[in-house]
Structure 1
Amino acid sequence: MLLRHARSLLFLPASNARAIAKVRGLPCDMVILDLEDAVPDDAKEDARVQAVAALGEGFGGRLVGVRINVAGTPWHGMEMVALKGSAADYVVLPKVETARQVRDVYSVCQKPVIAMIESAKGVLAAAEIAAGEGCAALFMGVNDLRRDLAIPASAGRQGLSHAMQACVLAARAAGIAVFDGVYNRLDDLAGLEAECAEGYALGFDGKTLIHPGQVVVANQIFGPDAQALADARRLIEAATGGAERFEGRMIETMHVEEARALVARAEAVGQ
């Protein structure tokens, strides 16, 4: 699967063997083993060992990444070395504010890096980061970004809309994927659905998640709609080239390309 086709990207602690075993039976498109925030300091070394072992066992063909700790922490260097020879598809780097941070990790790990944008500086540098060497995608780190911008959690995401759109623009200009941030309220599926719909409307490719119960909703919202998919297949079959009429509307090459991209996404996720 191409990274841009991923709908649901699930974080789980690399120290939690039970969660790692369980995720292999979930319908998420990408697994992200977390060595950073989800793991206490005294468990990070064991988590690194467990992560490498789990990567070796595989995740049933799913994309898999590992979120490492930032430079300056005691674990950063050891994690990069461990991941270089691992079966990870991607390295997820938190708190990115410069393209050099991504380049430094890429040069050591020799694996594409997903940059987490979690601060005002990161947002303002998003275009440079996205276009930089080794950057495969952007993640929105909405919790840290909200704190950095002094936006209260009770205010919703209205104050983050400019930052989110800036990251989508940066990713699209660089030709890479971009994913919406996590939703914290675990028992509020209606709220999750609304936030996924908002992220989809902003142009995000999928959503990062923190609980297995959120996977189905993300897959539904970010996956191709059945009606839209049927329409796309009819359009591709009917198109003969150039501008022409199709079911009461005008279409041209651009619309055919969009339809083919939708079908490709559907096939990638088994629809």
Structure 2
Amino acid sequence: MEKSLRPRRSVLYMPGANAKALDKARSLAADALILDLEDAVAPDAKLMARQQVAQAVNAGGYAPREVIVRVNGLNTEWGKADLEAVAPLPIDGVLLPKIEHPQQLHDALSILDAVNPDHHLPLWIMAETPKGMLNIAQIVQNQPRLSVIVMGTSDLAKDLRVRHTPDRVGLLVPLSLCVIAARAYGLDIIDGVYLDLNDEIGYNAACQQGRDMGFDGKTLIHPKQIEAANQAFAPSAQEVEQAHAVITAWEQAKNEGKGVVVVNGRLVEYLHVIEAQRILALAQAITSLGA
């Protein structure tokens, strides 16, 4: 089984400079929240956003949602102070932007642990640059504090000079590379944002494409996108029913000494049993969230 079955179907960015948004996030049905100090915050509001996020997190009320803070990069004037500020906070992880080599993770961990050596905050990383794509396997291997890869498809598309097409043909190779790296090293991986808030059909198709490609969830830019992501990245009722049937048939065949199992006309092997167990565990975890 995978090391983490925490649902991350819907991962919503919330701007750290917007106090009303930080408060509203406590009532939203997102599985995870990214309280953002980076792209969503103007330079002259960075310090205020850092203070507001700290106050909001310390005030609590976000459970059972996973709370992540995206800091500014260490190559900026705010990055080091951001990490020092979030190190003692009761959060579930820190999201590092524009990761291109493993040393960036080590540098961030050194700062976090110097401030709060007992917290052991998990890291999430943004995969959003061409160099990050080329180095993704090297970046994520041997990183016990790393939990999640988040795709930054807007920055990546800009740097690659690819167009935002419905099939995302220009991004399929880097997206798949990151999915492969995530699965190879036991990480969750979250798909990039969908920018057109008025294109419901296109957004639903993008969610389905992300799930078909192997992503665990989708990053969101507006609360109106939560419900569709929660549905797309959750096991359907049919999948849950099929998973139960696979496990029941496998156990029955094993007890009867049979070597071949067929469920609904399809041959079942042990690999299908493992996947069925994962589906049921994910469905149970979603139920536990009250979603």
Equivalent residue number for residue 20 of structure 1: 22
CA–CA separation in structure 2 for the residues paired with 1:101 and 1:213:
34
CA deviation string 1:206-250 (max 9, x = no partner): 101110000001011111111111111122223223542223222
Offset, 1:112: 1.4
Task: Please tell me whether the aligned partners of residues 68 and 91 of structure 1 are also in contact (alpha carbons under 8 angstroms).
Answer: yes
Superposition map of 1:213-232 within 5 A: 213-232=224-243
Unaligned runs of 5+ in 1: none
Structure 1 partner of 2:152: 141
Could you say which residue in structure 1 is the equivalent of 2:132? 122
Secondary structure in 2 matching 1:24? helix
Greater mean deviation of Cα atoms: 4-13 or 100-109: 100-109
**CA displacement at 1:60 relative to structure 2:** 2.1
**Contact 2:11–2:32 (Cα < 8 Å) also in 1:** yes
Q: Is the 8 A contact 2:36 2:69 kept in 1?
A: yes
1:50 aligns with 2:52: yes
Say if 1:119 and 1:147 are closer, same or farther in 2 by CA, change over 3 A.
same
Residue 247 (structure 1) aligned to one of 264, 267, 290: 264
- CA gap of 1:249–1:129, structure 2 versus 1, over 3 A, is same
**Partners of 1:207 and 1:70 in 2: CA distance:** 22
Q: Does structure 1 residue 100 correspond to structure 2 residue 103? A: yes
Partner of 2:115: none
Query: For residues 4-26 of structure 1, what are the alpha-carbon distances to aligned partners after superposition, in whole Å with 9 as ceiling and x for unaligned?
Result: 53100000101111111111111
Aligned to 1:208: 219
Question: Does 1:260 pair with 2:262?
Answer: no
Q: How big is each residue's C-alpha offset from its partner over 1:29-77, in whole Å with a ceiling of 9 and x where there is no partner?
A: 0011000010111111111111112112140221110000001212111
Comparing 243-252 and 61-70, the one that deviates more: 243-252
What is the rounded CA distance, in whole Å, between the counterparts of 2:268 and 2:166 in structure 1?
Answer: 41
Q: SS of the counterpart of 1:95? A: coil
Letter in 1 for 2:186: G
Within 5 Å, which residues of 2 pair with 1:111-190? 111-133=121-143, 134-153=145-164, 157-190=168-201
Residues 245 and 263 in structure 2, CA contact (< 8 A), matched pair in contact too:
no
Say which one has the larger Rg: 2
Bigger shift: residues 198-207 or 57-66 = 57-66
The number of residue pairs the alignment matches comes to 271
* Cα pair 1:243 1:253 within 8 Å, conserved: no
**Structure 2 regions of 5+ residues with no counterpart?**
113-119
Query: Normalising to structure 2: TM-score of the pair?
Result: 0.89
SS at match of 1:37: coil
**2 CA distance for matches of 1:106 and 1:159?**
33
**Identity across matched positions, percent:** 41
202, 207, 223: which one aligns with 1:196: 207
Question: What's the CA shift for 1:163?
Answer: 0.5
- For the residue of structure 1 that corresponds to 2:262, the secondary structure is strand
Q: What is the distance in 1 between the residues matched to 2:166 and 2:208?
A: 18
